[in-house]
Structure 1
């Protein structure tokens, strides 16, 4: 009986004790550098296979998004990553909860000469902490590095208002910001828009060139991605549209799959 109780106690101990690193994370795999896509994405060779990796828990300025201009420090972030990868002994490590994203990219922690590159990107101001997946093993480590970079005003933190405080991403303004009472006027490349009064004169038709809130007859109400959205709504949709989904609105500006350089206006809710 004593042996049985001891056996049960040992089993419970394994179940209840928090995961150690070796259990929460995979083994480290040696990889070879192929190329850098941007500051948080790259190609490496794992064995004989070339794979695309997306670094976990970080978000760097955009340089490849066709909907956005090249953002400040995007190229510098890519170069910083390239310097680590081209000249370092590289390893990748998975968080065991999920290994691939929906685009087939490998979600990894990247090491160069033993250093966690994800953390280096954040510590020196080339990246912010950002995540949409469940892997968060090094989250506290990266948050400490982010606080350090923010205090020192390194790179992305040297531009006031550049790091989006309302969610992931960055805010770029190439033109003076027009003061507005709406809290959603912080987006890339502010553009001039018609006044509310001029739009209200013809409320029954959607104004071309702007995201719409109106359902197009014959269009599916459920759309899978931005390609499908733009097939029926070339300029995007607002959060008032029946087909709107949060995944279409990564910058959380109340517009999904919108054209580049668009600022949300209150009249879009009736467009």
Structure 2
């Protein structure tokens, strides 16, 4: 009887060992094979989008509260600025930014300088599924490189390369001559009235819809310094010296 009891103990021990092995194998599968092991870029912080404000600003949940985020190193035209109003390609930039925000996982990246601007907005680089939103907007001609304040300049060289490519292609904001400048976007040269679209004509992408004046006297009442070629009010008939500026002061 003792011999049989010993054999039964060995059998139970073997079954227990097998059961433990199965449990360990299952745990390993659950922890390692089922887990998403896709590499993530260092420094990227997952956040939740609250809403898209415009082409270069969003609202997110950050550290338990709603916070506005201003995109580092780029600037897009305004959509509803208290002083500048609505600018050409502002709505296009906002719509594209919104499309990108709704297309994947949102993450932000900080640079080594200050994290907030004077309006208490976070300053960050923005990514959707690991792809730079700043680079997307620049490559599509919907943003310019701007507000370059060291030491928050980690990606400025790459951004400038992408901007130069968009300039060469003549797309987006670069279809409007002298619209995007180092000082911002020239709303005086390219005003938008009412709810008119900021999309240029497909027949002549360098011009806005025509704004007619009978002569230079009438034009100067609205534009004292005249208008450049590409402006909605420009007319070759009013550009006597063919210098690309109509009705400039004499």
TM-score of Structure 1 vs Structure 2, range by shorter chain: 0.5 to 0.7
Q: Deviations over 1:213-261 (max 9, x none)?
A: xxxxxxxxxxxxxxxxxxxxxxxxxxxxxxxxxxxxxxxxxxxxxxxxx
Alignment partners' CA distance in 1, 2:64 and 2:232: 43
Which residue does the alignment assign to 2:36?
none
Matched, 1:122 2:138: yes
Q: Deviations over 1:29-69 (max 9, x none)?
A: 10111111111111011253221100000011011211123
Structure 1 or 2, whichever has the larger Rg, is 2
Alignment partners' CA distance in 2, 1:189 and 1:50: 41
1:132 deviation in Å?
4.5
Contact 1:125–1:146 (Cα < 8 Å) also in 2: yes
**Alignment gaps of 5+ in structure 2:** 1-40, 192-210, 212-218, 234-248
Alignment partners' CA distance in 1, 2:165 and 2:232: 29
Which residue does the alignment assign to 2:174?
157
Once the two structures are superposed, the pairs formed by residues 232-251 of structure 1 within 5 Å of their partners are none
4+ residue stretches of structure 1 with deviation over 4 A?
A: 175-180
Which residue does the alignment assign to 1:137?
154
Which residue does the alignment assign to 1:80?
96
CA root-mean-square deviation: 2.6
From 109, 113, 116, the equivalent of 1:97 is 113
Contact 1:63–1:71 (Cα < 8 Å) also in 2: yes
Cα distance change on mapping 1:109 and 1:128 into 2, 3 Å: same
TM-score of the superposed pair, with normalisation by structure 2: 0.58
Query: How many residues get paired?
Result: 159
Matched, 1:171 2:186: yes
Which residue does the alignment assign to 1:20?
none
Alignment partners' CA distance in 2, 1:162 and 1:47: 38
Contact 1:30–1:92 (Cα < 8 Å) also in 2: yes
